[in-house]
Amino acid sequence: QVELVESGGGSVQAGRSLRLSCTASRSTGCMAWFRQAPGKEREGVATIDAVGMTTYADSVQGRFIISKDNVKNTLYLQLNSLKPEDTATYYCAASWTYSCTGIDYNFWGQGTQVTVSS
């Protein structure tokens, strides 16, 4: 079992930045960030696999950066140039698999709210 605890959400104005953190209780393989806005389906934001390869949703490419500290078992998401449409609850997820391609995530955090005002 792996526990994931997110932090770093908040309310900011458009154009500003935030950094989200997700600390895992132990090391895992692929990790990812998802988000869900009210009334919308959950969407994948970014992934990072066991060797550090990353992918991004088109909507955040060039603005968000996913990274991880393997020593601290902590996943990060740097959110830059935030837009009102980025407002959502952000969740981290983890899997035992090394690759992030076509997988189901075994573990989920409780979520952290990001609100961006115009």
Q: Give tens-digit pLDDT for 91-100.
A: 999 999 999 9
Which tens digits make up the pLDDT trace of 45-94? 999 999 999 999 999 999 999 999 999 999 999 999 999 999 999 999 99
In this prediction, residue 35 carries a pLDDT of 98
Mean pLDDT of 21-48: 97
pLDDT higher than 90, residue 102 = no
In this prediction, residue 115 carries a pLDDT of 98
Mean pLDDT of 16-33: 97
In this prediction, residue 103 carries a pLDDT of 86
Which of helix, strand or coil describes residue 33?
strand
pLDDT higher than 90, residue 22 = yes
Distance spanning both ends of the chain, measured CA to CA: 40
Q: Are 45 and 33 in contact (CB under 8 A)?
A: yes
